[in-house]
Amino acid sequence: MGQSESKEVIADGKFEQLQQIATRQGPAAVLQYLKDNVNQWKEEKVLFAVTGRSATGKSMFINKIRDVQPTDEKFAKSGSGNTTKEPTAYQNPQNKRIVFYDLPGVGTMEFKKETYIADMQLRKYDYFFIFFDKVVSEDDYFLVCKLVEMKKPFCLVRSKIDDDLRNAEDDGKRKEEVIPAIREQIKEQISRYEHLKNSDAIFLISSKRKDTGDWENLLHHIEKCLPPPKFETFMYSLPTLTENVIDLKYQTLRKRIKLATLAAACIAAAPVPGLDVVANLALLVEEVVHYINVFGLSKERLEALDGLDRKILNCASFHIQDLPGMDLAKVIIAQLGKYVAIFTIESVADIFLPIIGSIVSAGTSAVFTYRYLSRTLDNFRDDARIVYRFVMDKQDIKL
């Protein structure tokens, strides 16, 4: 077990840098480095541009990907993109540094091709969603060419496939045949466009149903195109559009455990009186709260799910009462006490000696931080899956 943990923990290039910092500047400098890196996502801005012709589902998409309801103040109303004279910004309620801009369409009387790039300030956006209807228009391809020229990442989105599925059912066609037929039609149509004929960035989605279309592939494309800190910021604030989103969040959060564990080791080794396993509770509390928020498992959100048996969830112990500050820490202390009985204390050198050597004299703190956060993260992932499947079952009943 220790061997596998060792491989996972040290398999990050950042740890080589930590070793140099520890050698040259000491534990305090390592601790500051870790603190800055664990929370780097909080400082990132991510600007998305959403463009395309009217009635292509842009507003529905902006609402769905932000998990905004019609009663919310920042709900994007259909058709608003046609009436605005400038990009309309829609912040993510979970993180206001993530902004989706509804851009007026290219090639209209108000926004001519010749000045569109400058008028819309296209260079400032991190990623572009180009929405189209039945076919990719010449104006859409004009924008594609400009984005390729600027080396800006983009995808094309064919939304409203719910309408195609419904129409097929009315016509007596099999639903299973609809999406492949649409793909073939698009493939044939874009084959004459140099920058699109071999593209893997064309996605069919439903903005009504989470389990329909290419949501998973679309998210993987965003992950491939955004710098890791920006994707981390985006992923932490993303609603659970598909079950795959849960796994993406889980993998992203696992990377934090490595840094959090090293932070625990550095805190324990720092020459400050009283800093030991208990002193690391502030770090553990911050991580647990972060997991709860990322997976959408807050007490308020769970209470809003009528019919869900919250007693079956692992996170239920954190929601027995309102648990600010030390109350939450007491729950973590109780759980750590159980882990002491479960896990055998192993030498922390098995995990850390190749990295920071002698500063890990307080190894117990690091071992339990790593194992506690790993187990807790696994539990929250499982809870998120239960909640997602519950919501999907309720959706099927309504439909």
Q: Give yes or no for residue 265 having a pLDDT over 70.
A: no
Total H helices, total E strands in the chain? 17, 6
* Tokens, residue 328: 């939450």
Give the span between the Cα atoms of 19 and 37, in whole angstroms. Answer: 15
**If we measure between CA atoms, which residue out of 241, 247, 216, 211 comes closest to residue 396?**
211
Give the span between the Cα atoms of 247 and 268, in whole angstroms. Answer: 32
Q: Mean pLDDT across the chain, nearest whole number?
A: 78
Query: Looking at residue 396, what is its pLDDT?
Result: 60
> One-letter amino acid identity for 372?
Y
User: What CATH number was assigned to the domain covering residues 43-236?
Assistant: 3.40.50.300
177-198 residue pLDDT tens: 888 888 888 999 998 899 998 8
Determine how β-strand 88-92 pairs with β-strand 95-102. antiparallel
The structure tokens 């500047």 sit at 25
Determine how β-strand 127-132 pairs with β-strand 95-102. unpaired
> One-letter amino acid identity for 329?
A
Mean pLDDT of 148-152: 95
Give the pLDDT band (50/70/90) at residue 39. confident
Mean pLDDT is lowest, of 259-263, 326-330, 339-343, 394-398, for 339-343
* Tokens, residue 109: 């009387």
Q: Domain map of the chain by residue range?
A: 2-38+242-398, 43-236
